[in-house]
């Protein structure tokens, strides 16, 4: 089973709302990632969790707050977003380095901020 | 300079053609290498890992040259269903033992009947 499940698939939120994106994997992976992808651009790394600890934050604004409650779950809490934050948010998981570590992506949450 | 560079294309080829994509990476700390495929408005899907010895999966062949920091993907006998964006991905060691997947900008392939 190489599945990463993200919910919701689509989300429309106002600039004053608080919402959360959820990601789940049952592959026993111990590294989980959040990526942001704008149209016609490659995915850009936001956060990496390794063994449930935040290990990389790519200078993401504090209005995005990640959380890893356990080894299978990854959340992204959203608050006071801007219209330019509208994008496809992708979750991925893999085993941590070293070695050839393929990552598997969820279907993404398509976020629109109005 | 981008860490992972690809020719964005588009590559427009007829069915049955052979097409090659190239990718260069700038960081010698890069640990592992992949090609992903992404269809319009879908998530990236792993096409194949890339090994120094070269590897083949059906019509697809990937090569890695660590000395030149160069990765390639060859698609033989192109099918209409191969039309997609192909992303070159490098897993680079970040802080601690954590990997960072760095994406090239992607190469668009359009296979025409």
Question: For the segment B10-49, what is each residue's pLDDT rounded down to a tens digit?
Answer: 999 999 999 999 999 998 777 789 999 999 999 999 999 9
Q: Which residue has the tokens 């083949």?
A: B56
Q: Point out which residues pair with B48 in neighbouring strands.
A: B35
B108 inside 8 A of chain A by CB: no
Interface contact A96-B106, CB threshold 8 A: no
Is A18 in contact with A83 (CB distance < 8 Å)?
no
Question: For the segment B74-111, what is each residue's pLDDT rounded down to a tens digit?
Answer: 999 999 999 999 999 998 877 666 788 899 999 999 99
**Could you please report the per-residue DSSP string of A85-110?**
G-EEEEEEEEPPSSS----EE---EE
Beta-carbon neighbour count of residue B27 at 10 Å? Answer: 14
Residues of A in contact with B43 (CB under 8 A): 90, 105-108
What's the whole-number mean pLDDT along residues A39-57? 94
Tell me what pLDDT residue B75 has.
98
Question: For the segment A59-93, what is each residue's pLDDT rounded down to a tens digit?
Answer: 999 999 999 999 999 999 999 999 999 999 999 99
- The distance from CA B65 to its chain's CA centroid, rounded to whole angstroms, is 13
- pLDDT over 70 percentage in chain B: 97
Q: Which of B45, B99, B103 comes nearest A42 by C-beta?
A: B103
Q: Which of A42, A106, A107 comes nearest B106 by C-beta?
A: A42
Phi/psi for A29 (5° steps) reads -70, 145
Tell me what pLDDT residue B28 has.
75
In whole angstroms, what is the distance from residue A39 CA to residue A96 CA? 29
Is B96 in contact with A97 (CB distance < 8 Å)?
no
Given a cut of 70, whether residue B7 has pLDDT beyond it is yes
Q: Could you tell me the pLDDT band of residue A2, with boundaries at 50, 70 and 90?
A: low
B70 inside 8 A of chain A by CB: no
Beta-carbon neighbour count of residue B58 at 10 Å? Answer: 9
Tell me what pLDDT residue A82 has.
96
**Mean pLDDT score of chain A:** 94
In whole angstroms, what is the distance from residue A20 CA to residue B2 CA? 31
């Amino acid at each position: 089973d190489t599945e990463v499940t993200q919910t919701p698939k689509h989300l429309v939120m106002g600039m004053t709302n608080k919402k959360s994106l959820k990601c789940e994997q049952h592959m026993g992976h111990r590294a989980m990632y959040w990526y942001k992808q704008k149209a016609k651009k490659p995915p850009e790394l936001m956060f990496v969790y390794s063994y449930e600890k935040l290990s990389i934050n790519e200078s993401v604004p504090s209005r995005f707050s990640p959380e890893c409650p356990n080894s299978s779950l990854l959340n992204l809490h959203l608050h006071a977003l801007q219209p330019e934050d509208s994008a496809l948010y992708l979750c991925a998981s893999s085993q941590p380095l070293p070695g050839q570590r393929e990552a598997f992506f969820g279907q993404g949450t398509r976020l629109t901020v109005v | 300079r981008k860490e992972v560079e690809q020719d964005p294309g588009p590559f427009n080829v007829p069915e049955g053609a052979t097409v090659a994509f190239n990718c260069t990476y700038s960081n010698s700390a890069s640990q592992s290498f992949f090609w992903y495929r992404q269809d319009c408005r879908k998530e990236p899907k792993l096409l194949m890992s890339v090994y120094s010895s070269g590897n083949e999966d059906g019509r697809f062949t990937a090569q890695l040259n660590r000395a030149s920091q160069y990765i390639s993907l060859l698609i033989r006998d192109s099918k209409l269903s191969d039309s997609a964006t192909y992303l070159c991905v490098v897993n680079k060691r970040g802080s601690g033992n954590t990997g960072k997947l760095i994406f090239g900008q992607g190469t668009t392939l359009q296979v025409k009947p």
